[in-house]
Amino acid sequence: MFSLAKSWAHAIKRDVTALYLAGRDPRTPWLAKAVAAIVVAYALSPIDLIPDFIPVIGYLDDLLIVPLGILLAVRLIPAVLMAEFRDAAEALARLPPNRTAAAVVVALWLGALAVCVAWLLPWLSG
């Protein structure tokens, strides 16, 4: 059971890296790029839709949302390209640093926070 979980985790890590590579390749269809970007950003984001400290359901996003997003993105990429991206992902030890992507993720979360504050401010003030 442990070896199955370990191989599943390795496959997810490889596919996240492959989706990163697919998002930067001009041969990848635009819809697949959009889905891949969202999945990779969510998978690498330190903020979850459901906080992990909530018992049981806190891990649902990690166990369901990310793998389902990866599955959707992989299905949108032609099989020949996906095999090429997976081979390249195996060759990489880890994702190359990308400060632009990190800045976009932080900006999106800050924007979401600003929208929440703007929505709550009238209610809190009175």
Local structure of 39: helix, strand or coil = helix
Say how far residue 55 (Cα) sits from the centre of its chain.
22
Q: Are residues 32 and 70 in the same domain?
A: yes
Query: What is the domain extent for residue 49?
Result: 2-95
Is the Cβ–Cβ distance between 21 and 89 less than 8 Å? yes
Interval 1-28 mean pLDDT: 83
Give percent of the chain above pLDDT 90.
Answer: 21
Q: Are residues 55 and 45 in the same domain?
A: yes
Q: Got the DSSP string for 74-109?
A: HHHS-HHHHHHHHHHHHH-SSPPP-HHHHHHHHHHH
Q: Are residues 125 and 82 in the same domain?
A: no
Q: Are residues 44 and 79 in the same domain?
A: yes
pLDDT of residue 26: 93
Q: Are residues 35 and 88 in the same domain?
A: yes
* Amino acid identity at 16: V
The DSSP call for residue 96 is: P
Q: Are residues 70 and 18 in the same domain?
A: yes
- Burial letters 68-89, b for 16+ CB under 10 A, else e: ebbeebbebbeeebbebbbebb
Q: Are residues 116 and 101 in the same domain?
A: yes
The terminus-to-terminus CA distance of the chain in angstroms comes to 55
Domain count, the chain: 2
CB-side neighbour CA atoms (13 Å) of 39:
29
Q: Are residues 87 and 42 in the same domain?
A: yes
pLDDT band at 29 (very low <50, low <70, confident <90, very high): very high
Nearest Cα residue to 70 out of 1, 2, 4, 8: 8
pTM attached to this predicted model = 0.59
Q: Are residues 73 and 40 in the same domain?
A: yes
